[in-house]
Structure formats: structure tokens, C-alpha cells
Structure 1
Amino acid sequence: MTTTSRLGVEQVLSGLRTAGEATRLRLLALLADGELTVKDATVILGQSQPRISRHLKLLTEAGLVQRFPEGAWVFYRLGDGAMGEFARALLDRLDPEDAVLAADRVRLAATRRAKAEAAAAFFAARARTWDQERSLHVPEAAVEAAIRETVGDVPFRTYLDLGTGTGSLLSLFSDRYTQALGIDASHDMLTVARANLDREGVKSAQVRHGDIHALNVPVESFDLVSIHQVLHYLDDPGRAIAEAARVLRPGGRLLIVDFAPHEFEFLRDAHAHRRLGFSHEQMHRWLEEAGLDVVETRDLVPDARDSDHLTVTIWLARDPRIVSDLPDLNRTQEVA
């Protein structure tokens, strides 16, 4: 640990006492791989909800873990600051091949897989009416105008749209890019997107089945990457943002469009939302952790008469690396 992360004797002893219990150590190891809810942890560890809640409470009080309430749910992740670094230092000493930890990771993967399958089933059932469901927020035309204004008028060569859905952004930016790729986990959504692009005569974009958390594209290959109304469906949004940042060229930009925090709990069941929006602070932290500089944050607030509508937030971030060699915009590069 660096000199800025020094801990006092009592802090170290408190951290060791708290982490020095089998279930709590297993929880820390799981949280090193992403955020979890109490329900997630009970399924993975096979223990009661009160017991898991108690362990997480102790870890939180010690500063090893942070909790983030969101509506009726609470998400947990490893702590920030000195105690969070202390937890990570302890975990670095664990054998990843330990039988108990390996079994926990298998159950964690199964839990994530089940959630992904549930989301895919939801999308498959609603693929053809997806654009209509976006009427929950401010008018789509206003959102699209703000998106184009945020990105600006300068053309960009390569564009990647993650969770492309019906391909709406591929169409929106079709006059800006040379080559584009849309990725989605739902085959039904991709069918609709292909039909939309064909109907609108968009020839410079293609769509492909893929995993937003494990992109099968070259690193540092896109000038612009977008994640439009996708993160609130994900179990680990920060992981998706980090993966998007990985495929940005030096100086490339990441565009995120999603909901501001809200209390419409029915969206969890009715629309399979995992997160009830994102605060500026939370999104800025994920972007900074991914090594990106936040360029702009913009809220699209509905009319006061539309109290049942959601605020849409647009975030634009940039890869801070300097572009040493300007690309030849007349040369087409394969991104697929």
C-alpha cells in the first residue's frame, strides 16, 4: 500500500478481526468480483438472509465494505479508501484455487447467468415494442436531439453501440460515422435492428450478438462508444463501463444515456430494471475508475406536469490519452 493508505493499529486490528471469519472472508472475495445484494449472497453461500445481513453489517461498519441503498434493494461492494485497499491486500494473499472460493465463484457465475437469461427472455418478449416502452421518459425526439448536440458535429470514423436494441443510435448517427457496429445479447432485438437499418438504408453499420461484459472486438478500435438505456438492466454497470473504456482509441469518447435516480419500484418487475437510475456521483466514479475524464453531464428533466415521467441523464467522457498520430479519415478500418 502507498503512504497515503497508512492505517493505525486499532484500524488494522479491527479490519483483521472483522475479516477473520469464514463467511465474511468469502463475502469479501465475492465482492472483489463485483457488487452483490443480500439475496445474491444468500443464494451463493447457502446461508440465511439474517445471517448474511449481519455479516455484511459488520463488514460495512469496519469500512471494508460499502452499501448503496436503492429503492427496496441494497447493493454492496468493497470499500473505498484505506480500509478498502486493506481488504484488497488481504484478498491478494488468498489462493484463487482454494476449493471453497472456487465453488463460490461457480455459484456466482450461475447467479449472474440466471439474471442474464431472465433479462434476455424479457427482451425477447418485448423486442418489437421496445421503442414504445421508452415513452416512460421525456420525449424520445428531445433525447435524440440532446444526444447529437452532446456528441457534436465533428464526424468520427468508428462507432460501437453497446446494447444496441432496435438500432436507434446506429440510425441516429448514420451521417457521422464511417463504420459502425451494434452489439446486443438478444437475438430478437438484433432481428428488429437489422430490419430497421435495412428499412432506413443504413449500409455502413452492422449488428452482432455479443456480451457487453466481454467484448469480442479489438482493443483501442473505436472513436465513439455508446451505452444507451442499458446500464439499469445490468448487475454490474461499472464492469460494463470499464469494458467499454478498454476498446476506446486514445482520445476516444464514451457516451452514456440512462435514468437519473427515481423511486418507480414497479420498473423492477414490470420492466426488469436492476437499478433505479444513477446519480452523477456514482456515474462519475465508475467513469474515473475506468480511466476516463468526464467531459459533460446533462439532465433532461420532464415537464412539471409529467410527474410520472423519468429524468434522462447524458454523460460524455473521454479517454485522456493524447492522439500522437492523426488517423486518415479517408481510410476505412475494419472494426468487426
Structure 2
Amino acid sequence: MADLAELVGVLKAAGEGTRVRLLALLADGDHSVKDLTEILKQSQPRVSRHLKLLADAGLVRRNAEGAWAYYGLAQQGDGADLAQWLIARLDAKDADRRRDIERQAAVRAQQQALATQYFDTVASSWDLLKTLQVPEEAVEAAVVAALGGRKVNTLIDLGTGTGRMLEVLAGSYTRGVGLDSSREMLAVARARLAASAIGHAQVRLGDIGGLDLSVGLADVIVIHQVLHYFDDPGRMLAQARRLLQPGGDMVIVDFAPHELEFLRSEHAHRRLGLSQAQMSGWAAAAGLSVQAVQEFPSENTERGLTVCLWRLSDTTRTE
């Protein structure tokens, strides 16, 4: 519980019209300062000042991405509880609220158009998976099943790309965080999450090869089609292990060993698949153990790829 002075500070931060409108907008997903100035039709310094007060009081969180910053509702603490209480009591028919919703939809439509434009330029990477007949639907179903039907508190998706795993697993976590080093991909992911009304997930700019522990610890970490882009997947796995709660799980999806050299020369793959022995060795070195393995072979025996799913667990787990 907060002491009196802290609680009064939180109430003062929330007790202003524009700041309540900001909380309502952020309840629908992350926004940059630029987004919020367009929606509220207020100056950037004014909006930034309101956001700082809300952040200092623990009502919202700030995630810096270079010269930009994205804001979202706080997930924990007295500020988070108060924000949810206020938002639940807002009248959706209020004139300011209706205008904010309309402008928010327009901003998101513009973002979706930009994301689609970018996606069109990199569509060959996804079209490639179709030509190799990767069984995506079966793999996604297996990723969901790997969590055993439970709902975890925090799930982190490393190399989130388009945010597809956050979307697929949306019912399996209370808080989802996707990290990726590509601003363009993050724009696609944000548009995708907004279109699916997934407000309990956020994406952030981050180097997954040198992870920042400030992102917090996860009950489950997902690494989907990422490790083959690294010369040393074992090092990447050890980095990811630092973000895992004691007794937590990792779900890893990647290609089995193959001989399609053009993936290295034309599509930036550094490793031509990962073997079971390699994964077991990397996992052991990182303090993890392989609990289950599934293989999903392609029907294309000449040019297809086999996809593997590994579920790893922290070796300190106590049953």
C-alpha cells in the first residue's frame, strides 16, 4: 500500500481532464507523443508534460526508442489500479471521448497504411516460407499447446517481428512484451496488435543479442524463427535465459538442419538449421533442460524445410 503523500500525488496526477483522456487512449494500446498530439490537438510540450506527470506517479510507463518514446498504461501498482478504476467509469458518449476515439482510429489507419506499405517491400521473406511449405498453422497450434492451457503473468517474445506470436498467444498471458531491433517491423507489429484489439501486449525496440534486463522477467519466453540469424545461437540463448523467471519456460521454434544454401546468401540466415544435439548443449550451458521436442516436416521433400519446436525449462524448477 502507498503512504498518504504518495497516494495524494497519484490522485493529483490523475485529477486533470487531459490526463484522464490520455489514460483512456493508452488503455487501448501504446502511443508515441506524436500520436497523442495529433489525437488531442495539443502541443507536443504540453502533452509531454502531462505524460511526465502521469509517468512520475506510476500511472503510465515510458519506453524510449532512440529519439522517440512510446507510452502505455502501467501494468502494476497503485497507479495502475487507479488508472483502470478511472477508465472503467468514463462515459463513452462524452464529446471529448468520442472525438478522441475518432482521431485515434484515423491515426491508426494511417499507421496501418504505412505498415502495409513496408510489409509489401519485405513480403518476399514471407512468400519464401510458402514456397518451402513450412506448416505454419500446425506450428502455431503447437506453440499454444506448449503452454499447457495455462495463463502466465508475463510473456516475452524475442525478435517479435510482425508481432504474430503475441497475437497467437494473446489468451495465454496477462502482460506480453515483444522486442525487435527493426523499427519498421515494430510499426507492423503495433498496427497488428491494434487491429486485433490486443491492449495487454506492447512491443519495444531492443537488441535481442544484448538484452536489457530493465524489460523485466518473464514466466515464458518465445523465440520464434530467430536463432538461425545468429552466428552463435548458444550465446543468444544464454542472453535470453537472463530474462527468465526461476522455474520459467522457453518455447523455441526454428528450422531443423538443411542444405538450402541460398537462405544464407539471399536471406541473411547465418545457420542452416539447428540440430537436437546443438539445442541440448546450448540449453544445458544456459541452465536449461529440453522438456519436449516436436518436428513438423514439409510435404515438399525436395525443397521443403522441417520446423522444430523445443520447450525448455529452467533447471531450478521444482515440481
Q: Could you say which residue in structure 1 is the equivalent of 2:231?
A: 235
Q: 1:157: Cα distance to partner?
A: 0.8
Where does 1:58-207 land on structure 2 (aligned, <5 Å)? Answer: 126-127=121-122, 130-135=125-130, 136-207=132-203
Q: Could you say which residue in structure 1 is the equivalent of 2:47?
A: none
2:198 is the counterpart of 1:209: no
2:303 to 300, 308, 323: 308
Q: 1:196: Cα distance to partner?
A: 0.6
Following the alignment from structure 2 to structure 1, what is the Cα–Cα distance between the partners of residues 216 and 196? 29
Deviates more, 1:237-246 or 1:137-146: 137-146
RMSD of Structure 2 on Structure 1 (CA): 2.2
Following the alignment from structure 2 to structure 1, what is the Cα–Cα distance between the partners of residues 161 and 301? 26
Shift of the 174–131 alpha-carbon distance from structure 1 to 2, 3 Å rule, reads farther
Q: 1:137: Cα distance to partner?
A: 4.0
Give 5+ residue unaligned stretches, structure 2.
1-117
Where does 1:244-255 land on structure 2 (aligned, <5 Å)? Answer: 244-255=240-251
Q: Please, what TM-score do these two structures have when normalized by structure 2? A: 0.59
Q: 1:260: Cα distance to partner?
A: 0.1
Q: 1:208: Cα distance to partner?
A: 0.6
Question: Helix, strand or coil for the counterpart of 2:213?
Answer: coil
Q: What amino acid maps onto 2:150 in structure 1?
A: V
2:276 to 274, 277, 280: 280
Q: Could you say which residue in structure 2 is the equivalent of 1:299?
A: 295
Q: What amino acid maps onto 2:190 in structure 1?
A: R
Where does 1:25-64 land on structure 2 (aligned, <5 Å)? Answer: none
Kept after mapping to 2: 8 A contact 1:220/1:249: no
Where does 1:10-25 land on structure 2 (aligned, <5 Å)? Answer: none
Query: Moved runs in structure 1, 4+ residues, more than 4 A?
Result: 123-130
Q: What amino acid maps onto 1:277 in structure 2?
A: G
Give 5+ residue unaligned stretches, structure 1.
1-122, 325-336
Kindly provide the CA deviation profile for residues 80-129 of structure 1, in whole angstroms up to 9, marking residues without a partner as x. xxxxxxxxxxxxxxxxxxxxxxxxxxxxxxxxxxxxxxxxxxx9995455
Q: 1:217: Cα distance to partner?
A: 2.9
Identity of matched residues, %:
46
Kindly provide the CA deviation profile for residues 123-152 of structure 1, in whole angstroms up to 9, marking residues without a partner as x. 999545554343234221111012112222
Q: Could you say which residue in structure 2 is the equivalent of 1:91?
A: none
Following the alignment from structure 1 to structure 2, what is the Cα–Cα distance between the partners of residues 187 and 319? 31
Following the alignment from structure 1 to structure 2, what is the Cα–Cα distance between the partners of residues 177 and 130? 28
1:318 to 299, 307, 313: 313
Aligned residues: 201
Following the alignment from structure 1 to structure 2, what is the Cα–Cα distance between the partners of residues 211 and 245? 15
Following the alignment from structure 2 to structure 1, what is the Cα–Cα distance between the partners of residues 272 and 290? 22
Q: Please, what TM-score do these two structures have when normalized by structure 1? A: 0.56
